[in-house]
Structure 1
């Protein structure tokens, strides 16, 4: 639950950053400063992409771990038990490893979203959000009225709303604590959990995941090309 909230927050902040970064540097003329430095456009794009692909996910991971520690300590204090014992019963070590795999999975899943927003930010000369929202609305109208389908828009919304492995952590640990019955932790081993996919190997093997990565690579290459030719707005 806590990790899911952190993930949604990371996606929201990442989208806002990706949508504005290249547009804003052209608008405030800072692109001239960056171009005066001995830094390649490829490296500049990679540095900006690392904010949403590395720094953001790591920060959300850290915050979720801090929240987990606080929750464990608070629960232990409330029921008069050892925090260390609670952590051992809950297999926190395994949960941490799972969280790392989960954050990598979601970063790859959201990579095409960020890459497309980077491309829009580097190409338009007016507010990028208007282009994105207008493009989505136009696509929906054309597809719904002209083609009488919602396949393409469904894929796009699925990328935003469907998180691979959703429910993984909820199924993994259930804490039961009452004043009268004492304290117990029911932990379901990772290999016994079924959440629409069998395991992380299956999740990382999804064709849709890697098609998205391929699309992201194309968008990032185009972003580098546009960044090389960027001029102040």
Structure 2
């Protein structure tokens, strides 16, 4: 730990460790507010803007088409562009189920934009978290304060694994309800009931709860990438991006060319999936979903979209060896980053 100040003003007690850590988290937030907060919000706004443009184009094309006759359950219905009120009267149980799944899928797609941006933000945040402070020599100032290297590095880990995903989830929820309002306005414009056609069949509150519940699983899953990027950030004297990318890739090529995994009765693809991909892409959203489990699910059953993110599916990931092996590897690399920050020279 860095040396504490030898004297304190009269009546002043040293700051508690939790108070110092909270201040470090605030520092990370304010220094990276653009990536943590505004980037997901802007991505969500772009998603809503594109949705609005698509609705306007659909409205213009529908009005140009004029009145049309369609066949619903053997009955001919005359509609002027689109009359959702009349269509609603002929929706059966099967159509209602497909409508519910379609709305849930649309909500997830609309809310995915902040998470996609989050993956890029976290990758470059972790990559520069310890390198940039050595490059601009601000590390000398921070080391002069009564802050340990462990506290500093862990504040960056918590910011990447919990703070940034929580803010992105909030942006995704705002985007989701903004999408619902746009669709509701479109339904009202065409004589439909938004409660019956949008809010009722859809499950926005359930999806919100599932997104929030997934944050701890996402935090644990991304630890290998966070640890590896922080390790590169604390070790590299220049070009940390190249080191972070090339070392896993060259390791994968070496393993593949010489078929090293055959000695363990495994294919080379196992190394690419469980080592290279986990080191580089675990910060990407939804990579913690078990593909084998998804393929085994009944995607044609009722509520298929919601079942992908229900609590049982989300937290069953905590029972996998892939997650906990990654947690151990990530913790080891974070420990290495703490050690290197204590002794590493300034970056070039």
TM-score normalised to the size of structure 1?
0.80
The structure with the largest alpha-carbon Rg is 2
What is the Cα deviation at residue 146 of structure 1? 1.6
1:119-144 per-residue CA deviation (whole Å, 9 max, x = no partner) reads 11101212111112221232122112
Q: CA–CA distance in 2 between the matches of 1:228 and 1:114?
A: 19
Question: After the TM superposition, which of the residue ranges 84-93 and 204-213 deviates more from structure 2?
Answer: 84-93
Is the counterpart of residue 9 in structure 1 residue 9 in structure 2?
no
The residue number in structure 1 matching 2:166 is: 58
Judged with a 3 Å threshold, the aligned counterparts in structure 2 of structure 1 residues 198 and 37 are, in CA distance, closer, same or farther, namely closer
Is the CA contact (8 Å cut-off) linking 1:140 and 1:153 kept in structure 2? yes
Q: CA–CA distance in 2 between the matches of 1:75 and 1:158?
A: 37
The residue number in structure 2 matching 1:176 is: none
The residue number in structure 1 matching 2:316 is: 202
What is the Cα deviation at residue 158 of structure 1? 4.3
Instruction: Identify unmatched segments of 5+ residues in structure 2.
Output: 1-108, 261-267
What is the Cα deviation at residue 152 of structure 1? 1.5
Secondary structure at the counterpart of residue 66 of structure 1: helix
Q: 1:215 aligns with which of 314, 325, 329?
A: 329
1:2-41 map, 5 Å: 2-41=110-149
Q: CA–CA distance in 2 between the matches of 1:147 and 1:187?
A: 45
CA RMSD of aligned residues (A): 3.1
Is the CA contact (8 Å cut-off) linking 2:235 and 2:340 kept in structure 1? yes
What is the Cα deviation at residue 165 of structure 1? 3.4
Judged with a 3 Å threshold, the aligned counterparts in structure 2 of structure 1 residues 2 and 165 are, in CA distance, closer, same or farther, namely farther
Q: CA–CA distance in 1 between the matches of 2:246 and 2:327?
A: 24
Is the counterpart of residue 135 in structure 1 residue 247 in structure 2?
yes
Secondary structure at the counterpart of residue 199 of structure 1: helix
TM-score normalised to the size of structure 2?
0.56
Is the counterpart of residue 119 in structure 1 residue 231 in structure 2?
yes
